[in-house]
Amino acid sequence: MELARNLKVESVGQLGLVPPIALSSLQTVEDAIRLMRTHGAGCVLLTTDGRLTGIFTEKDLLCRVLVPRLPLSTPLASVATQPPVFLASTEPVGLAMARMVEKRLKHLPVVDESMRPVGVLTSRNILRFLAKHFPRTIHTLPPRSCSIKSPKDPPENPNPGSIPETKGLPVGLKGRNQ
């Protein structure tokens, strides 16, 4: 019962949010990638006058830049998610979880009462929250067993570190070495 109560009582701001990394919507995809790599982050927030206006995520990079083959000089304004889904830092964790599941989000900007980013809630924050409330269950899970083999499982690669066989795969699924 403690978890149900905490989902309603604990606020998002108490979860140890990832510090926000912000850029202007006029900056480029290349600027965003550089910052994301430097900070080991999965997103950057777009701000105007310090207020949240958008979010650019790894998924945006993949789906809106790389797949359509746009140049890295593309302004963030044309490929970021605007307006973003966000939460106030005072909102309950349960609401954050529901919103992340409903919208299929891995990163959720958290703002103060002036719409200024105070952090980013990540799926990792949520997992830590759940592990805190279910430590016995989480920490006593057996390791993922690789020793139980199904007759349908492919044979193990006898040369670890080498590229596995790709015979029988469609041409588009074969490695570059084929």
62-104: pLDDT as tens digits: 999 999 999 999 999 999 999 999 999 999 999 999 999 999 9
Query: 97 or 133, which is more confident?
Result: 97
End-to-end CA distance of the chain: 56
Supply the CATH classification number for the domain 2-135.
Answer: 3.10.580.10
In this structure, the chain runs to a length of 178
Per-residue pLDDT tens over the stretch 118-129: 999 999 999 888
* pLDDT tops 60 at residue 42: yes
* pLDDT tops 80 at residue 169: no
For all residues of the chain together, what is the average pLDDT?
83
